[in-house]
Amino acid sequence: MKKILFLLFAAAAFAACNDDDGAPKIRYASTNDGIENGYLQGVNLHFYGTSTVTDAKGGTFTDDEAWFEFAGGPESFSLYMHKTRFAANMPGVEMRLQTVTYTPESDKSLSFSKGEIIPYALKENETGGGSSYQPVAKYVITDLEGSIDNVNCHVSFTCAGVFNVTYEGKLIIKE
């Protein structure tokens, strides 16, 4: 009986020390094949990192699971901000910035900036039948700047004139 209890105790201790909490594993890329000669190649690029938001009162919120996706080609891209949040109690919102033009910088890098852009948010259709991206003027994005440098991504902007957002992420391998 003591052996069985010891084995059960050992198994429980081993399970408690196991760091696999069921969360998806993130694999980071070592190179970026989605950019050639500074141009996006039509492959969606997924970046996982940290978004830091500072509000008008100086309070900060950090989201350590921020996921940005770039979808585009040789002239412009759409930036998807998946489950983005600007405050701890805010539910995640699927946002998209459409038709952002960029400048090639080197073989595996590009940069972009835009003074003002109206974001689109994924919302339930009023007539029913699913959801679609719809413009949300109250969340106007200003001072959008960013870059992709091989596997590193940096984005900054102001949302609704109140939330200053800085994002730093690394390219992930989407499985």
Q: What is the pLDDT of residue 131?
A: 87
Q: What is the pLDDT of residue 81?
A: 97
Q: What is the pLDDT of residue 21?
A: 52
Q: Report yes or no on 157 lying in a domain.
A: yes
Q: Report yes or no on 85 lying in a domain.
A: yes
Q: Report yes or no on 10 lying in a domain.
A: no
Q: What is the pLDDT of residue 24?
A: 56
Q: Report yes or no on 54 lying in a domain.
A: yes
Beta strands in the chain (DSSP E): 35-36, 39-40, 45-54, 60-72, 76-84, 93-101, 103-106, 109-117, 120-124, 131-135, 141-149, 152-159, 163-171
Q: Report yes or no on 2 lying in a domain.
A: no
Task: Give the CATH number of the domain where residue 48 resides.
Answer: 2.40.160
The total number of structural domains in the chain stands at 1
Burial class (CB in 10 A: 0-12, 13-18, 19+), 25: exposed
- Give the global pTM: 0.83
Q: Report yes or no on 148 lying in a domain.
A: yes
pLDDT per residue as tens, the chain (175 positions): 434 333 334 333 434 444 455 555 889 999 999 999 999 999 999 999 999 999 999 999 999 999 999 999 999 999 999 999 988 888 899 999 999 999 999 999 999 999 999 999 998 877 777 889 999 999 999 999 999 999 999 999 999 999 999 999 999 997 6
Q: For residue 135, what are the domain limits? A: 28-171
Q: Report yes or no on 86 lying in a domain.
A: yes
- Rounded Cα gap, residues 87 and 66, in angstroms: 13
Q: What is the pLDDT of residue 14?
A: 38
- Rounded Cα gap, residues 95 and 134, in angstroms: 9
> DSSP 3-state assignment of 70?
strand
